[in-house]
Structure 1
């Protein structure tokens, strides 16, 4: 499961959430994939938090709505709530939830009935109800969708920044390993070039000695020539390796400069 706390700027998320609630009157809070709070609640109403949710039966009904609610929906108490998934890399990593607003002027008689069902003092319940913001249903739906889009964009941007940085860090380490390996290959190739040069000198000396030996050195002269050819070919191969290493070094340097 993707842990939002590992990459998201929670202060920035809190600020966006607070500004949203201040502008729209809707309550809001962000939770992770396990339902644990990421932010502090913004614009939560006493009607929900101090009365309905603190009542045992009311809390059960609210929890049922929280678990089953999706998008923008009516809660059991007649208010409108919303829940928008936070999707990161195709995986649900949390949600932004809230609402706690009325889509129109409330019918007090219905809320008196709810208060009696829950065992909450009717007058206290209605007094808290009068403080609940009233917004049109279209405004509530549009606001919830907007917040969901903004939060998802913020979270995914932060996620990509984190992933990119991790990849760059890994790339830096691997480039360093490649550079060390290339340096070692260069050093070994130089050693082999020295060996090839010595082999060539030995071949020349052997040819001279074979010539001095006359007919007796004919066979040895053939071996000396073959030895000389091998040393020349080896020298060419080592030179090509050296050139390729130089080319790779150039590419690595260019790659490092673009990170």
Structure 2
């Protein structure tokens, strides 16, 4: 499961959220897929936070709305709330939720009834209700959609930047590893070439000694010639390895320049 907090700029998200609430009067907060807050609440009302959510029955109903609410909807207390999914590559990584506004002048008697159900002082509840912003339902929906779109664009852009940076780091690491391996191959090939040269010298010396021995050295001369042929072939193989290593090193250099 993707953790949105690992790559998102929380300060930027908080700033956008605060400006949105200041401009629209709607409350807003971002949560992860477990419902944990990842930003601080903006423009939260006392009606919701101090009273409704602060009662035992009220918080149960609010949490149910938080889990099940989608889009723009009326909460159990009669206010309009919204919830917009934050999605990356088709996976939900969190939500931006809020609202806490009225779609029109409230029926205070209805809210007094809700206060009694939740065990909240009626007069205090109504006083808090009168401070709740009133917005048209169309304006609330448009505002919620706008915030959801902006947050998703921000999160997806930062995800792409984070992944690109990680890929660049991995690529740099792999290129360094290839370079080190090529250097080691080159060093080992040089060592083998030295061995091949020594074998060639030994073959020449053996041929000379076989010639001095006359008929007695005929068999030894055959072995010396074979040894010399092996030395020659080994040298050609090592030279070819060097050519291939040079080509790979050139390719790595070109790749590094492109990156």
1: CA distance, partners of 2:36 / 2:258: 40
**Deviation, structure 1 residue 40:** 1.0
Give SS of 2:92's match.
Answer: strand
2: CA distance, partners of 1:71 / 1:8: 23
2: CA distance, partners of 1:224 / 1:116: 109
Give the 5 Å matches for 1:49-128: 49-128=49-128
Partner deviation per Cα, 1:105-159 (whole Å, 9 max, x = no partner): 3333322332343343444333322322222222222222222222222223222
1: CA distance, partners of 2:233 / 2:139: 81
2: CA distance, partners of 1:121 / 1:176: 69
Structure 1 stretch 159-168 or stretch 242-251: which is displaced more?
159-168
**Deviation, structure 1 residue 24:** 1.7
Q: Does 1:150 align with 2:150?
A: yes
Aligned to 1:204: 204
Structure 1 stretch 124-133 or stretch 211-220: which is displaced more?
211-220
Give the 5 Å matches for 1:1-259: 1-259=1-259
How many positions carry a matched residue from both structures?
A: 259
**Deviation, structure 1 residue 238:** 0.2
**What TM-score do you get using the length of structure 1 for normalisation?**
0.88
1: CA distance, partners of 2:33 / 2:258: 36
Q: 5+ residue gaps in structure 1?
A: none
Give SS of 2:43's match.
Answer: coil
Partner deviation per Cα, 1:23-42 (whole Å, 9 max, x = no partner): 22211001123222111111
Give SS of 1:8's match.
Answer: coil
Give SS of 1:85's match.
Answer: strand
**What TM-score do you get using the length of structure 2 for normalisation?**
0.88
1: CA distance, partners of 2:209 / 2:117: 117
**Deviation, structure 1 residue 211:** 4.2
Give SS of 1:54's match.
Answer: coil
